[in-house]
Amino acid sequence: MESSLEAQVGPLRLERPTVLASGILGISVEIFGRLHGAGAGAIVSKSISVEPRDGYPGPTVVPLGGGGWINAVGLSNPGAAAFAGMIRDNRTVPIIVSLVGSAPEEFSSMVERFEGCHIAGYEINLSCPHVDDVGLEVGDDPELVSRVVRATKSAASVPVFAKVGLGRSDYLDTVSAAIDAGADGITAINTVQALAIDIEAQRPKLSNGIGGLSGIPIGTIAQRCVAQIHSQFDIPIMGCGGVSTWEDAVALVLAGASAVQLGSALGYGSPDRVFADVNDGIARYMERKGVRSVREMVGRALA
């Protein structure tokens, strides 16, 4: 029996089910090429805004031990114009451009910037837990979500994913608004709002104070959200959060994800091995369980 690692996330076909999460090594097309060559089925870029952003002063990304990370980078990114220039020559890597902003027009104007770039899709970051006025603020307002998704969809000629996270309001309302507005898929979840205090310095470890928790600690929270979305909506999901091994990836698929994003996992091992190791593990598991396609496994643990 031949099993295939191909994954289908709604309109998006991926040769392999593992995808680089947004904000992780996410601004250099050379790195994208390297990771794609090393097994990533697609690459989600750092979230791009209309204008460049320097982000916050350090510390912005701090490991917490136990495979956890906290970050508040302040959405540093080169801006849509510069980033479009950087990826213009790409022909081989399936790049999903992550977009962030606070008004629908920003999204449509950014999509226009990427006109002519060879990209595989967009991911709308509705859920960055530590930057005022963008991210979660948007995700917390279903009406705005709806307008942002609609603006992006109407400008874009490639699939559009909406990325959700645990915010102040019910993230399932955000999912619902995004679907109604035409999103082709949902990415779940972003980091979880957290605060790590250094007891010797008696202040937060991040310059921004509050940041987003990622990595192993949020794995079962991500499984929960993916399962909830999968059972309540008919929409393809890219699962994200706490995947560090192939077992975690399989668990997210069994919970309802059609593909799996890896973020903090890149900090645990060699960028040249992480995707391949997870892919190989998934393939061996499928072989052992007699599963022929990733699709067959999606949501199977909820049956």
Ligand X SMILES: Cc1cc2nc3c(=O)[nH]c(=O)nc-3n(C[C@H](O)[C@H](O)[C@H](O)COP(=O)(O)OP(=O)(O)OC[C@H]3O[C@@H](n4cnc5c(N)ncnc54)[C@H](O)[C@@H]3O)c2cc1C
Ligand Y SMILES: Cc1cc2nc3c(=O)[nH]c(=O)nc-3n(C[C@H](O)[C@H](O)[C@H](O)COP(=O)(O)O)c2cc1C
d(CA 260, CA 253): 7
- 132-169 as b/e: b if 16+ CB within 10 A: eebbbbbbbbbebbbbbbbbbbebbebbbbbbbbbbee
Q: Which is nearer to ligand Y, 21 or 111 (CB)?
A: 21
Segment holding 227, helix H or strand E:
helix 219-232
| Active-site residue flag, 240 | no
d(CA 123, CA 185): 9
Nearest to 93 by CA among 182, 209, 195, 14: 14
Of 10-18, 152-160, 173-181, 234-242: span binding ligand Y (CB under 6 A): 234-242
Beta carbon of residue 286, minimum distance to its own copies (angstroms, whole number):
11
**DSSP H helical segments within 38-189, as ranges?**
80-87, 104-113, 136-139, 142-155, 171-180
Q: Which does 22 bind (CB under 5 to 8 A by kind): another protein, ligand Y, ligand X, none?
A: ligand Y
Beta carbon of residue 290, minimum distance to ligand Y (angstroms, whole number):
29
d(CA 145, CA 99): 13
Q: Report the relative pairing of strands 42-44 and 197-198 from DSSP bridges.
A: unpaired
Instruction: Give residues in contact with ligand X (CB under 6 A).
Output: 57-58
Are the beta carbons of 19 and 187 closer than 8 angstroms?
A: no
Instruction: Give residues in contact with its own copies (CB under 8 A).
Output: 64, 66-68, 70, 166, 168-170, 172, 192-199, 202-204, 209-210, 213, 216-218, 220-221, 223-224, 227-228, 247, 250-251, 254-255, 285, 300-302
**Residue 262 touches ligand Y, criterion: CB under 6 A:** yes
Beta carbon of residue 77, minimum distance to ligand Y (angstroms, whole number):
7
Scan residues 96-155 and list those touching ligand Y (CB under 6 A). Answer: 98, 125, 128
**Residue 3 touches ligand Y, criterion: CB under 6 A:** no
Beta carbon of residue 208, minimum distance to ligand X (angstroms, whole number):
12
69 Cβ contact partners less than 8 Å away, ≥ 6 residues apart: 61, 62, 63, 213, 214, 215, 264, 267
Options 241, 277, 279, 282; binder of ligand Y; rule CB under 6 A = 241
**Residue 260 touches ligand Y, criterion: CB under 6 A:** no
Options 32, 56, 69, 114; binder of ligand Y; rule CB under 6 A = 69
d(CA 146, CA 167): 16
Scan residues 47-66 and list those touching ligand Y (CB under 6 A). Answer: 47, 61
DSSP state of 47: P
Instruction: Give residues in contact with another protein (CB under 8 A).
Output: 23-28, 30-31, 33-34, 46, 52-55, 57-67, 69, 71, 73, 76-79, 82-83, 86, 196, 198, 200-201, 203, 205, 207, 263-264, 266-268, 270-271
Q: Which does 57 bind (CB under 5 to 8 A by kind): ligand Y, its own copies, ligand X, none?
A: ligand X
CA angle 133, 53, 169 (to 5 degrees): 25
Segment holding 14, helix H or strand E:
strand 12-14
Beta carbon of residue 131, minimum distance to another protein (angstroms, whole number):
14
Q: Which is nearer to another protein, 193 or 264 (CB)?
A: 264
Q: Which stretches of the chain bind ligand Y, using CB under 6 A?
A: 21-24, 46-47, 61, 69, 71, 73, 75, 98, 125, 128, 163, 190-191, 214-215, 218, 240-243, 262-265
Q: Which residues are catalytic?
A: 128
